[in-house]
């Protein structure tokens, strides 16, 4: 059974992630490759074994969980360990030497930071897009009907911290709308924002549309039309020091291929090129 730990709990004990650039969503290749096939130059063995460690943005939890299970079922000798957190936190761990095979970020600037540190093998590949939404508790105690309503005095709003991709996107929406928020809390990941809302600790939160969908009836979603100007683009890459480069390549190919794109679409993510 693979283990999943939040970024805050991630230490040098968690880790080993293989990753490799795969085909885009429209690539006709199958989700897994035959022996000898390559993803961004990394061979994908027919049989995989060992332990693959994946660092992925918190908003990708359900998607990566599902695809990791698929990969494990296809290769009984393989164990996939996942670590989910805010992309900036994961990047910091990689910069500090945390061993991993694959890194999937919720935005390109954070991935570029890891590229600039010389930690990526090959070129990152974009595999999905995402946009923001506002969520409130089902009863909507503060009467939030738009992004602008979040700035009303007395409304307890929770957002992602500015250095986190969802926080950066929130600031871009603020700039586009001229609305200045005064959040009561800035969280390290979008899942933490969602948790504050579902637990009743906030009147509203700014999350991704995918997180609003995942929460279901636990929240009420308020669409943010202005979020179309703040789309987040998700890249994935294999780490240069990946201990399991073949398995990493297989996971990236699964994520970027037809099966992965279907799973992403079902979760509410947009295609790599946007919609």
**Sign of torsion over alpha carbons 23, 25, 27, 31:** positive
Beta strand pairing call for 102-104 and 232-239: antiparallel
pLDDT at 25: 35
Tell me which CATH homologous superfamily contains domain 4-129+233-266: Periplasmic binding protein-like II (3.40.190.10)
CA distance 110 to 235: 9
pLDDT at 273: 81
pLDDT at 31: 34
The domain at 132-229 falls in which architecture? 3-Layer(aba) Sandwich (3.40)
Q: Which residues contact 157 (CB under 8 A, 6 or more apart)?
A: 150, 181, 182, 183, 184, 202, 203, 204, 205, 206
Where in the sequence of the chain do the CATH 3.40.190.10 domains occur?
A: 4-129+233-266, 132-229
- Give me the long-range contacts of 271-275 (CB less than 8 A, separation at least 24): 271/25, 271/128, 271/129, 272/24, 272/25, 272/126, 272/127, 272/128, 272/129, 272/233, 273/129, 274/129, 274/231, 274/233, 275/129
Are 39 and 78 within 8 A, CB to CB?
Answer: no
pLDDT at 47: 84
Output phi, psi for 216, to 5 deg: 60, -130
pLDDT at 39: 46
pLDDT at 50: 95
Q: What is this structure's pTM? A: 0.82
Are 39 and 249 within 8 A, CB to CB?
Answer: yes
Work out the burial of residue 196: count CB atoms within 10 Å of its CB; fewer than 13 is exposed, 13-18 middle, 19 or more buried. buried
Beta bridge partners of 16: none
DSSP states of 84-121: EE-HHHHHHHHHTT---SEEE-SSHHHHHHHHHTT-EE
pLDDT tens-digit profile, the chain (275 residues) = 334 333 333 333 333 333 333 333 333 333 333 333 344 555 566 789 999 999 999 999 999 999 999 999 999 999 999 999 999 999 999 999 999 999 999 999 999 999 999 999 999 999 999 999 999 999 999 999 999 999 999 999 999 999 999 999 999 999 999 999 999 999 999 999 999 999 999 999 999 999 999 999 999 999 999 999 899 999 999 999 999 999 999 999 999 999 999 999 999 999 998 65
């Amino acid at each position: 059974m693979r283990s999943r730990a939040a970024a805050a709990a991630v230490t040098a004990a968690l880790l080993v992630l293989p990753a490799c650039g795969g085909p885009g969503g429209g690539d006709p290749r199958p989700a897994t490759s035959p022996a000898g096939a390559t993803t961004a130059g990394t061979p994908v063995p027919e049989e995989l074994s060992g332990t693959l460690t994946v660092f992925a943005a918190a908003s990708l939890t359900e998607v990566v969980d599902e695809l990791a299970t698929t990969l494990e079922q296809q290769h009984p000798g393989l164990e996939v360990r996942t670590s989910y957190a805010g992309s900036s936190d994961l990047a910091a761990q990689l910069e500090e030497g945390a061993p991993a095979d694959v890194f999937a970020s919720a935005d390109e600037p954070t991935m570029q930071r890891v590229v600039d540190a010389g930690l990526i093998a090959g070129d990152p590949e974009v595999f999905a897009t995402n946009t923001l939404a506002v969520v409130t508790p089902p009863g909507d105690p503060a009467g939030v009907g738009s992004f602008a309503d979040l700035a009303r005095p007395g409304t307890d709003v929770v957002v992602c911290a500015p250095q986190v991709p969802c926080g950066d996107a929130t600031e871009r929406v603020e700039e586009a709308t001229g609305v200045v928020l005064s959040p009561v809390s800035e969280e390290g990941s979008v899942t933490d924002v969602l948790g504050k809302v579902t637990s009743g600790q906030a009147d509203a939160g700014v999350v991704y549309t995918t997180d609003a969908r995942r929460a279901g009836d636990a929240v009420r979603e308020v669409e943010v039309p202005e979020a179309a100007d703040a789309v987040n683009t998700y890249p994935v890459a294999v780490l240069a020091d990946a201990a399991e480069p073949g398995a990493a390549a297989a996971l990236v190919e699964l994520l970027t291929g037809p099966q992965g794109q279907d799973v992403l679409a079902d979760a509410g993510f947009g295609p790599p090129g946007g919609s």
